[in-house]
Structure 1
């Protein structure tokens, strides 16, 4: 979890297949996700990017972008996405509430993928205040 200039964000890697149901609750309910630690081949890992307090433009809209990288245990970049829209538009509640990015990644280790520590890096950008948050999480594939 990081924050800068009032913008906050964090990254969760979870094996909860019901993550969406856990997330779709009233704002006062805090969802609890089981963090991915050691993950067997074939089990899905859901990568959730969360943020709070994005700045609004003159029309009252937030604009959060993100760069996403998945790096295997050998240092090889398995996935790289730049300038993805993570959120764009009016917020459904208070800016200080926690919101989920529209970019949810699903990872599943296939036979032939290297065992070991996989890293996920997401750089969140509050485009309206030009503030970046480099976030990182990891899990073991076995």
Structure 2
């Protein structure tokens, strides 16, 4: 599908860990799940300045404006966050994701597996909230199916042996 830009994943990978971690709780209103101490959250925003919000100075809690719809010509950004990934003996995280996007009729426009969501040597507190390196940008184009689109992300903390299925939707009008 042309309108999904996986470059957002590249942007997130370029964020330094210091800017990519917050002490806040998961954003309210997002698709959030937890299993024990590990949690993950999926949210959708129309704010093109989401990255600046995330990189707010230490101590400031990011305030993402959630979006649940988009019109032709508009953009949405799907962001994934996680907290408390288990570290292996070397201090490495190993969080991988499956990502799918479904048209309003249920057919898949994207179905990716085993993407590296958060695979890094972690030098800060694992209990902080981290931005995943997997996300996407949706640009609503003329001719796209109107209705409810579904974004599903299954987050696997391989070190912990925990899987969290997340789902968020938006309406294309």
TM-score of the superposed pair, with normalisation by structure 1: 0.95
Q: Distance in 2 between matches of 1:27 and 1:3?
A: 25
Name the structure with the higher strand share. Answer: 1
Q: Distance in 1 between matches of 2:42 and 2:55?
A: 17
Match of 1:113 among 144, 148, 158: 144
Deviations 1:53-107 (A, max 9, x none): 0000010111110000001111110111100001111225211100011112001
Q: Which residue of 1 aligns with 2:66?
A: 35
Deviations 1:37-67 (A, max 9, x none): 1211121110101000000001011111000
Q: Deviation at 1:26?
A: 4.0
Q: Which residue of 2 aligns with 1:66?
A: 97
TM-score of the superposed pair, with normalisation by structure 2: 0.79
Q: Deviation at 1:138?
A: 0.6
CA RMSD of aligned residues (A): 1.1
1:1-142 correspondence to structure 2 within 5 Å? 1-142=32-173
Give the secondary structure class of the aligned counterpart of 1:41. Answer: coil
Query: Would you say the 8 A contact 1:123–1:133 is kept in 2?
Result: yes
Q: Which runs of 5+ in 1 are unaligned?
A: none
Query: Would you say the 8 A contact 2:91–2:123 is kept in 1?
Result: no
Give the secondary structure class of the aligned counterpart of 1:89. Answer: coil
Q: Distance in 2 between matches of 1:129 and 1:54?
A: 8
Q: Distance in 1 between matches of 2:58 and 2:148?
A: 33
